[in-house]
Amino acid sequence: MVVDNIESSNDPEGNINNINDTNNINKTMIKEEDKEKGTIDTQSVPSQGSDFVKKLFTMLEENRFDNIVNWSDNGDSFLIMDTNEFTKQVLPCYFKHSNFSSFVRQLNKYGFHKVKISNEAKQKYQLENVWEFKHPDFNRFDKSSIENIKRKIPVKKDSNDNNSNNNNCNHLNSIRRLEDRINYLEKENSNLTNNITNLKSDSMKLNQKYNTLVVNLLTSKDINMSLSRSMECLYNSILQLGGRVSSEIEFPHLDLMDSNKLVNNQNTNINTNPNSNPTNPAINNDNNINNNNNNNNNHIHNNNTHSSINGNNHNQSIPNTNKSISVSPINNQIESHNSNQNINDNNNINNDPNTHLHIKSEPFDSNDIKLTSPNNALSEQERIRNRPKGSIIHILLVEDDDICIQLCRKFLIKYGCTVVVVNDGLSAISAVEQVKFDFILMDIVMPNLDGATATSVIRSFDRDTPIIAMTGSYHRKDLAHYSSHGMTDILGKPFTKDDLYMILKKHNINPVILDPPSAEPMQGHIHGHGHGNGQVQVQVQAQGHPQVLPPQQVQQVQQVQQVQQQNNNTTTTNNNNIPYNTITRKRASNPNDINSLNTIPIINTNNETLLTPSILQPTGMTPDVSVFTNPTNIDGLVVPSEVDVQEALATVDMDLLNVPDSEYGSMFKRQRNM
């Protein structure tokens, strides 16, 4: 009795706790067995015939659960028909526990053996879940012989005399325990896996919601801006029509000021950089272009799809005489966002000859519009068209610290890049929506929206532009965090010019060197970007890739087909017999005079066409056509999958962080020592 109790209470626990390695188990088991032996010696040895076996016999004789456990036909073995039911019902009733494996172990200890049922028989009689146990002395018709069934456990003396036997027994037992343990662990494991899957799907959902929220935030911000813009228009026109009206309307002056300030900020940020102004087409602003702009304008009215960018273009290129046109995109915007807006009023403004009052704020318009399409970023082609002409490397710098901006910009310009600077995550998203950049340097800690989140939004429509986290903290968990948001790599702060050079080069951007940090001259250029004098012929690999069109011409059309037609037209009128997919490019006469490239690109002749830079194939691969045919919408938000994260992590060279003399130079050393 006592023995049995000990068995049933000790075994399961012992199983769970001591399974780390087999040796250990053996040792602990020996100890346990010894203890048990002690109790057996002192208490239950005299009564020889074991309670366990008696109970077993009684159970079978009483036959209360004959559909679960019963004698075999000839009475020399017994069958457990359903182990589950047996565990649930019979064990608690007779043995005061519900641990089947413990029961089986006990049987084994008393010398019972499981009878193997052949697979054939199993299938034939549907005995899948049946266990049959047998003992030579355990017979239905010979109750007296059960007195001979004894625990196989050797007494203490035996264990001394008969070590090998003992060991064998222990081995067997430990293997069984291990089996139990494995079963238990497997169950646990599958539970955990389930939990993880649930959590994962939860976090996916949350992520999606979060991204949608961010995008919505952007949208509402933009709507706000365009609203306040139109309010301003209204206000101005009312002022001109007669100031009386304005005093009667309670006009939210403060709000207007605020939003203006916002817009202003945005604008100045972008405009502080002399190179950021993507084009200065006003230079070659001739009638031709004006006409085209007018055509464009019609396009805008006809289909609202891509109006914003075209509006943008002419806002910069239209001379002041076209004021009314410059306002119209706003109308469009308002129409699409808020169908109930005072369209009539706005139209009035358009017709009002005095509209020139808000010409002053015209750049705001363009910026405003720039920001108006967070959830339908411009198509790939248009983003490429928006690149500043003549720019070899177009870089977005997202940073809120003035000093870092100045330094970093200086470095980048030194490497022949054009730089656009924005100050927070929201502006970064808007900027990337409009223009395809070759490279994005992104601070992490910023006002409005942090760099990581901004990146994940950007990744929903731009998957391939390298986005580099600039940050002072690069612990492993930070890296994983950045990667999971779709950031490509990391540039530790503070960085030197060489660090910057290295990171550019690492991502296949070939900086033009004014004073190379290394002795290695950079003459090899990817994708036919010759840096020599004269002309370079570039064969574009795939047919029908509009992105290779000269931006100047492309700018004026909307549909790809139109692009092709127009392109043919223009190339012929330009007396430049360039095949559609072959671009001739002329470089500045002095290749070392990089500064001439850094300043606002001067497009002086019509027959100088410039190739869209390496960004089209950032990783040196053939451009993927599908990329260009799938404009992303709000539903297409990309939540980085686990695989993505893994891949992204793989591209971050973690080891570099541990190698102080890595190509990143001394910055890690500096940080590591802190």
254 binds another protein per the rule CB under 8 A: no
For the CB of residue 581, give the shortest distance to another protein in the complex, in Å: 39
> Which of the ranges 211-219, 489-497, 504-512, 642-650 carries the binding residues for another protein, by CB under 8 A?
489-497
Nearest CA among 88, 83, 72, 75 for reference residue 121: 72
485 binds another protein per the rule CB under 8 A: no
* List 362, 401, 450, 663, residue binding another protein (CB under 8 A): 401
* List 402, 635, 655, 661, residue binding another protein (CB under 8 A): 402
For the CB of residue 668, give the shortest distance to another protein in the complex, in Å: 12
> Which of the ranges 138-146, 399-407, 504-512, 518-526 carries the binding residues for another protein, by CB under 8 A?
399-407
130 binds another protein per the rule CB under 8 A: no
* List 76, 400, 450, 478, residue binding another protein (CB under 8 A): 400
- Rounded Cα–Cα distance for residues 273 and 474 (Å): 29
> Which of the ranges 82-90, 263-271, 403-411, 415-423 carries the binding residues for another protein, by CB under 8 A?
403-411
Of residues 607-666, those binding another protein (CB under 8 A): 666
> Which of the ranges 323-331, 492-500, 505-513, 569-577 carries the binding residues for another protein, by CB under 8 A?
492-500
Going by their DSSP bridges, the two strands 77-80 and 131-134 should be labelled as antiparallel
DSSP assignment of 471-527, as one string?
A: ES---HHHHHHHHHTT--EEEESS--HHHHHHHHHHTT--PPPSS-SSS------GG
Cβ proximity to another protein, 216 vs 666, nearer residue? 666
Report the chain's terminal Cα–Cα distance, integer Å. 67
- Rounded Cα–Cα distance for residues 305 and 332 (Å): 10
Structure tokens at 592: 């070392």
- Rounded Cα–Cα distance for residues 667 and 399 (Å): 19
- Rounded Cα–Cα distance for residues 357 and 261 (Å): 18
Structure tokens at 189: 């494991």
For the CB of residue 496, give the shortest distance to another protein in the complex, in Å: 5
272 binds another protein per the rule CB under 8 A: no
Q: Which residues pair with 396 in a beta bridge?
A: 420, 440
497 binds another protein per the rule CB under 8 A: yes
Of residues 521-540, those binding another protein (CB under 8 A): none
* List 35, 410, 476, 672, residue binding another protein (CB under 8 A): 410
CB 276: neighbour CB atoms within 10 A? Answer: 22
> Which of the ranges 4-12, 343-351, 493-501, 522-530 carries the binding residues for another protein, by CB under 8 A?
493-501
- Rounded Cα–Cα distance for residues 466 and 616 (Å): 12
DSSP assignment of 68-99, as one string?
A: TEEE-TTSSEEEES-HHHIIIIIHHHHHS---
CA dihedral 600→603→608→612, nearest 10 degrees, is 40
Residue 133 dihedral angles phi and psi, to the nearest 5°: -120, 150
250 binds another protein per the rule CB under 8 A: no
Cβ proximity to another protein, 301 vs 410, nearer residue? 410
> Which of the ranges 164-172, 259-267, 292-300, 401-409 carries the binding residues for another protein, by CB under 8 A?
401-409
Cβ proximity to another protein, 52 vs 415, nearer residue? 415
Cβ proximity to another protein, 494 vs 544, nearer residue? 494
672 binds another protein per the rule CB under 8 A: no
Going by their DSSP bridges, the two strands 69-71 and 77-80 should be labelled as antiparallel
85 binds another protein per the rule CB under 8 A: no
Cβ proximity to another protein, 467 vs 594, nearer residue? 594
For the CB of residue 410, give the shortest distance to another protein in the complex, in Å: 6
CA distances from 570 to 311, 373, 550, 576, 673 (A): 22, 30, 10, 9, 61
* List 196, 206, 283, 445, residue binding another protein (CB under 8 A): 445
* List 254, 403, 621, 643, residue binding another protein (CB under 8 A): 403
414 binds another protein per the rule CB under 8 A: yes
670 binds another protein per the rule CB under 8 A: yes
In sequence order, the 6+-apart residues with CB closer than 8 A to the CB of 527 are 538, 614, 616, 617, 620
407 binds another protein per the rule CB under 8 A: yes
Fill in the DSSP letter of residue 673.
T
493 binds another protein per the rule CB under 8 A: yes
Cβ proximity to another protein, 76 vs 400, nearer residue? 400
> Which of the ranges 306-314, 402-410, 571-579, 607-615 carries the binding residues for another protein, by CB under 8 A?
402-410
- Is-contact 543 579, C-beta < 8 A? no
507 binds another protein per the rule CB under 8 A: no
Task: Classify residue 527 as left (phi > 0), alpha (psi -120 to 50) or beta.
Answer: left
Cβ proximity to another protein, 497 vs 585, nearer residue? 497
Cβ proximity to another protein, 497 vs 506, nearer residue? 497
CA distances from 113 to 106, 133, 143, 432 (A): 11, 5, 19, 74
* List 22, 496, 564, 576, residue binding another protein (CB under 8 A): 496
* List 111, 494, 528, 591, residue binding another protein (CB under 8 A): 494
* List 127, 231, 262, 404, residue binding another protein (CB under 8 A): 404
517 binds another protein per the rule CB under 8 A: no
Number of helices (H), then strands (E), belonging to the chain: the values are 29, 11
- Is-contact 52 110, C-beta < 8 A? yes
- Rounded Cα–Cα distance for residues 647 and 637 (Å): 19
137 binds another protein per the rule CB under 8 A: no
> Interface residues with another protein (CB under 8 A)?
400-404, 406-407, 410, 414, 445, 472, 493-494, 496-497, 666, 670, 674
